[in-house]
Structure 1
């Protein structure tokens, strides 16, 4: 039978627990310090350079694990950025004054099937009647320097998800979703920093 006061007994018990936990805590801290160079080495590699999610991560996580909140840590250049950009800043092979939207995104712009051979990326950036055309052009152009996603993923999102039967994302453990126009536009908004 314990003759000590209950408060004293409680303090002694807590002290014994804390003393027993110290070696474990030291090991944890030492392990953390030992792994710091490994983490620093990983951080400097291109593997961690991407600050935007791929479509598979965006669809599976519901955009909750984005590095900068609900948008990329560094957004893609905006529609207006591309409209005002020096023509020399446009990606090689896509001259500002001549690059066709349909050729670049492998499918025509919404509402411009009749002029697919003349409707340019710069026209899409200024298309107030169909804002998704402008978003697609900005994301496509930005994918060359700001991705992921790569330009080929943007092409597939447009051709399959917006203009076709659906874009199939392939996520963690083979979880997938099929995106159509609404989902593709949400993803473009995420890349461009337009999410609330």
Structure 2
């Protein structure tokens, strides 16, 4: 039996993952899942890497609703997150050994790209984020930074200062909070 998938001349790999479980979930995470621009391919492998066959699902057979491919996050009875893909004639379920929802969302985005031709957006597929949340978070971070600097709270990045020596008035430079010596009179001071 074949243990690898040979690409057609007009076919390219979009994403692939090893350690995948398929279907009934009585098997281990031994399979490999490959998404190309033409097919969703499952290379079935046994516990010791021996070939168990190849299943190929054409991406043009994946259902579409509201310009989105019908690929979504599901849950197994044991609570494991699943990638569920709905085809014109049935559906398939896949679980990844690692990566969780983030990895499944990456697969959903790539499947949607392969089916609809639209590049994935930066929005999470799960719909968990509120519209504009990223903008609000950025504004809050900037505001907090201003408060910290006004209150003298040290942040992770050093602040460079240039002041006059308290003894002779010569320029002294360094990092805020650092103890420096004046080059002219030698007096020590903290910036």
Q: Which has the higher contact order (CA 8 A, sep 6+)?
A: 1
* Alignment TM-score, normalising by the size of structure 2: 0.26
Give the structure with higher Rg (CA): 2
Question: What TM-score does the superposition give when structure 1 sets the normalisation length?
Answer: 0.25
More strand by share: 2
- Larger helix proportion of the pair: 1
